[in-house]
Chains A and B, each alone.
Chain A
Amino acid sequence: MDTLALEATQPKKAQNGALVLLPGPPIPAKRKPAKKTKKAVVFFEVEILDAKTKDKLCFLDKVEPNATIGEIKSMFHKSHPQWYPARQSIRLDPKGKSLKDEDVLQHLPVGTTATFYFRDLGAQISWVTVFLTEYAGPLLIYLMFYFRVPFIYVPKYDFTTSKHWVVHLACMCHSFHYVKRLLETLFVHRFSHGTMPLRNIFKNCTYYWGFAAWMAYYINHPLYTPPTYGEQQIRLALTVFLFCQIGNFSIHIALRNLRPPGSKTRKIPYPTKNPFTWIFLLVSCPNYTYELGSWLGFTLMTQCLPVAAFTLVGFIQMTVWAKGKHRSYLKEFRDYPTLRSPILPFIL
């Protein structure tokens, strides 16, 4: 309690404009015998301005010095109910970076009257919702084509099954892949952000659902042609596919274990006892590497051009993401291993 009072007095010195960044948690040195008198807690005043128009949107007085940005967002939400905390971007500078929900008010370079700028991020939707929707679609859509639901193919083929066993295998692999993704979304992944802009769900679903329909139409078509090299090709493709599915899952588990539940810490991932994670020695984002491998396997298995197109587009997108992730690893960690490439060992 005393240390809190000590900290609270310091910001007064900062009012003449000097930046006072308090050094981390206070050192509890010798505790003086408790001053039984009132603890001098200096409350902050917070004013929130619109980042574009600089209009005063909200004024909060009597804000606790140890209030977090998250709590301030909740208070702001009360006066402006249409802007729920997830769609608020609070920053120190109108053109600056967004402050994090965990940032504590008194640790920020502000005086006792803090001025923040607000930007509306637009309607938000949770990552979990987006992932579940975009993955459930392909699962169901592919099955509709597999079972040859009416109005897709010529009526005489309605509800028939393909005579090629590779088509059944492909259905199992595709369905397994998306069931795995759904389960990972529910039980494995730990998301850094809670939400994303609402329009993303339309964009993402169009991509996943559209490609799923396009692929499934040809693979389950009555005039489907099985792979040129027959059983050899299919067996190789299945091996690659399963290997990469296990690999992808191993990486997801390894990344999950890096982060304690409920936290948003970031650490460098390293190889574990699981051999599928040894690829961390060479690659920053092996989950994308394995994902590419899975889809290459599926392309080989089905020998279908739309699948190849989907693999290619996915590869391009994942490369962009991997390069970004690799760059932020390099920026954040001085001792980041230099042997690693973003997505393809030594190549990309």
Chain B
Amino acid sequence: MASGEEDGTVEEKETNNKKRTKGAIATAWLTFYNIAMTAGWLVLAVAMVRYYLQKGTHKGLYRNIARTLKFFQTFALLEVGHCAIGIVRTSVIVTGVQVCSRIFMVWFVTNSIRQNEESVILFVVVWTITEITRYSFYTFNLLNHLPYFIKWARYNMFIVMYPLGVIGELLTIHASLPYVRRSGMYSLRLPNKYNVSFDYYYFLIIVMLSYIPLFPQLYFHMLRQRRRVLHGEIVVEKDE
């Protein structure tokens, strides 16, 4: 009997230990991931500033940084995985929608426009500022040393950055429409043996329209989070 009980507690301890090691591995991985992403977007920022200072114009800037941008933005797909396996407590759908829209812009839209468009520079700059803030916020959080200004930046800058980014993205998609129509890219016409068709031009229009219901939801989600995080803090300070 006694040994049976002991086995029980030993098993419990083993599962607790397993949980703790899993937690430690998850934290270590997430810390590494967020440091790497912060560094990546910093590299992008530096590259953009250097290009502009050297050439004095934004023309050709996008082509210069396109590969690095694609690399780091695609890596963000891992974040959906983090939510799915539960090591990050955010909705998979919210993260999925955000990452998908980024991937879509970077891989499917920007290759069909005159890349000197100002709208491209607009959203790339916005993304860079936002991502550096976001990833450094996560990094410091995981290391338990969060400077207040990073928290402030993360929960306040989006108020301006988010709409600016959306404007940049929408203008870019809109600018790509004439070329898409002319070239018929990514489209499948009838007749074909699968008896299906796909018109990339109309698909882009639907994507633009989908910003109308989706953007406010994501925006208000951030506003709610902001109120919860910053407002909660104010209450604590008052008590002290």
| A residues at B contact (CB < 8 Å) | 218-219, 221, 223-225, 228, 302-306
Q: Does B193 contact A221, Cβ atoms closer than 8 Å?
A: no
Q: How far is the CA of A305 from the CA of B195 in the complex (A)?
A: 6
Q: Does B195 contact A218, Cβ atoms closer than 8 Å?
A: yes
Residues in B with CB closer than 8 Å to A304 are 194-196
Q: Does B195 contact A224, Cβ atoms closer than 8 Å?
A: yes
Q: How far is the CB of B189 from chain A (nearest CB, A)?
A: 9
Q: How far is the CA of A221 from the CA of B195 in the complex (A)?
A: 9
Interface size grouping (class) on chain B: under 10
Which of A218, A221, A302, A305 is most buried by chain B, counting CB atoms within 10 A of its CB?
A305
Q: How far is the CB of B64 from chain A (nearest CB, A)?
A: 40
Q: Does B196 contact A225, Cβ atoms closer than 8 Å?
A: no
**A-B contacts, 27 listed (Cβ < 8 Å):** A218-B190, A218-B195, A218-B196, A218-B197, A219-B195, A221-B190, A221-B195, A223-B190, A223-B191, A224-B190, A224-B191, A224-B195, A225-B191, A225-B192, A225-B193, A225-B195, A228-B193, A303-B194, A303-B195, A304-B194, A304-B195, A304-B196, A305-B194, A305-B195, A305-B196, A306-B195, A306-B196
Residues in B with CB closer than 8 Å to A303 are 193-195
Type the 1/0 row for B178-205, where 1 means its CB is closer than 8 Å to any CB of A: 0000000000001111111100000000
Given contacts A305-B194, A305-B195, 18 further A-B contacts (CB under 8 A): A218-B190, A218-B195, A219-B195, A221-B190, A221-B195, A223-B191, A224-B190, A224-B191, A225-B191, A225-B193, A302-B195, A303-B193, A303-B195, A304-B194, A304-B195, A304-B196, A305-B196, A306-B196
Closest to B197 in A: A218
Within 8 A of A (CB), among B62-103: none
Residues in B with CB closer than 8 Å to A225 are 191-193, 195
Within 8 A of A (CB), among B155-178: none
Q: How far is the CB of A166 from chain B (nearest CB, A)?
A: 11
Q: Which 6 A-B pairs have the closest CB atoms?
A: A305-B196, A223-B191, A304-B195, A223-B190, A305-B194, A218-B195
Q: How far is the CA of A280 from the CA of B191 in the complex (A)?
A: 43
Q: How far is the CA of A302 from the CA of B196 in the complex (A)?
A: 11
Residues in A with CB closer than 8 Å to B194 are 303-305
Which of B190, B191, B195 is most buried by chain A, counting CB atoms within 10 A of its CB?
B195
